Amino acid sequence: MTLRVRQWRKRQRELDQLLRYSDSDGEQEGIKNVPSVPGTPSSCNSDNVPGTPDRVMSDNALETSDDFDTDVDYWSTDLEQEPNEAEVTSFEDELRQWALEYKVTHRALNGLLSILRKQGHLLPVDCRTLLATPQHNTTEPKCGGQYKYYGLEKGICRYLSQMESNDVHLSVNVDGIPLFRSSGVQFWPILVKCGHFDPFIVAMFSGQSKPNPLENYLKDFVSEYKHLKDNGIVFKGQTYTVNIDALICDAPARAFLKCIKGHTAYESCERCLVRGTCVERRIVFSEQVSTSRTDDGFSRVEYSNHQTGISPFIAAGIPCVSSFVLDYMHIVCLGVVRRLLIYLTRGPKVCRLSVESH
């Protein structure tokens, strides 16, 4: 931007010199005595055009001064060349990437833009213009709501240049997010985490309830993952293999995606064939040893008392028993530990802690 300021000042001096010569010598000797500006064609001299008035160049120069725009390339010299369009916009691009990478708030970015504009940088006033935030998002009606698919390979390619290995390991999360208390509107995003990088959105669904049918909701994601798993990703002459290591969901989301019974059913255990019993209106799994479930048996739908349908992940070759991890937060922190704390503080007197021990 400093180069643009110097170039603008040089043009201003040349224009002032042109106007002075035009006013002092134009009426007596004509425009032929006006010194030529570097880069200006000699054919602009009025002597070469019959019947041209002496003040034509002066009038044109005055009009040019009124409409002078520093963004237009009028002259160029051998010493200093006007920066091309890519160089002019590179500063905005770098600033945009910096703001997105470090998650700068809009208020802070607006303050930075105000300071940079005072220093002579040609930048937008509002950060939303700089970030090029889209005002409209094209969606399609699907599964009883609005659906948008962003792409799995597109998100992975952002981080391939920073990876040390050609093996891409993915972690997938699918869950429902309620937006309002007074309405049933909810989001169902498909999030993917690639290695140690930040997660990105692959697909987004918005509706009054869960996406139904499930096959249509997961169709784009499952199809693209199956293609990437079989063929890999070719990026800058290298081929990267893609595999899903884990699907991280809470218990209701796992039951929805795997097409199994909920966690309150008698045969709801996702790891073994144990059958629960009802104790004080709660399902309790009291057996210590039981037969484990297998991925092959799940893909062949052998557990009829456990499965309610065929999961779309089976067609993509994703093991639905070992790949779906049990969430530590709900099972341990909000499950066993929470119940222990309740018994120790507000439970029966047999196990309740005294006031002095609190």
Helix (H) or strand (E) holding 28: helix 2-29
Q: Output the CA–CA distances (angstroms, integers) from residue 108 to 19, 111, 117, 127, 347, in the order listed.
A: 45, 5, 14, 9, 50
What is the DSSP annotation of 129-143?
Answer: HHHT--S----EEET
Radius of gyration of the chain (CA): 35
Dihedrals φ, ψ of 74, to 5°? -85, -50
Q: Which domain-ending residue is among 202, 222, 252?
A: 252
Q: Does any domain span residue 240?
A: yes
Q: Which residue has the tokens 């104790």?
A: 279
Q: For residue 208, which of 230, 232, 186 has the smallest C-alpha distance?
A: 186
Q: Which residue has the tokens 């833009």?
A: 113
pTM higher than the cut 0.85: no
How much is the pLDDT for 137? 79
How many residues comprise the chain?
A: 358
- Mean pLDDT over residues 266-278, rounded? 92
How much is the pLDDT for 32? 45
The tens digit of pLDDT for each residue in 142-175 reads 999 999 999 999 999 999 988 888 999 999 999 9
- Rounded Cα distance, 12 and 266, in Å: 85
Q: Do 6 and 36 share a domain, yes or no?
A: yes
The tens digit of pLDDT for each residue in 70-113 reads 444 434 444 444 444 444 457 888 899 899 889 899 999 999 99
Q: Does any domain span residue 316?
A: no
Q: Output the CA–CA distances (angstroms, integers) from residue 118 to 96, 113, 124, 237, in the order listed.
A: 19, 9, 12, 45
Q: Which domain-ending residue is among 220, 252, 284?
A: 252
Q: Which domain-ending residue is among 252, 275, 305?
A: 252
Q: Do 228 and 163 share a domain, yes or no?
A: yes
How much is the pLDDT for 101? 87
How much is the pLDDT for 93? 87
Question: Is 211 or 53 the better-scoring residue by pLDDT?
Answer: 211
Q: Does any domain span residue 269?
A: no
Residues 305-329: b if buried by 16+ CB within 10 A, e if exposed? ebbeeebbbbebebbbbebbeebee
Q: Does any domain span residue 224?
A: yes
Q: Do 226 and 158 share a domain, yes or no?
A: yes
Work out the pLDDT band at 327, boundaries 50, 70, 90: confident
In total, how many domains does the chain have?
3
What is the DSSP annotation of 201-264?
Answer: EEEEEEESSS-SSHHHHHHHHHHHHHHHHHH-EEETTEEEEEEEEEEE--HHHHHHHHTB--TT
Q: Does any domain span residue 160?
A: yes
How much is the pLDDT for 23? 56
Question: Is 77 or 199 the better-scoring residue by pLDDT?
Answer: 199
Q: Does any domain span residue 77?
A: no
- Rounded Cα distance, 88 and 90, in Å: 6
How much is the pLDDT for 335? 81
Q: Domain range for residue 24?
A: 2-66
How much is the pLDDT for 357? 59
How much is the pLDDT for 34? 43
Q: Do 145 and 245 share a domain, yes or no?
A: yes
- Rounded Cα distance, 178 and 129, in Å: 30
Work out the pLDDT band at 329, boundaries 50, 70, 90: confident
Q: Does any domain span residue 232?
A: yes
Percent residues over pLDDT 70 in the chain: 78
> Are the CB atoms for 61 and 22 separated by under 8 Å?
yes
Residue 47's contacts (CB-CB under 8 Å, 6 or more residues apart) are: 30, 31, 32
Q: What token pair was written down for 75?
A: 């002259």
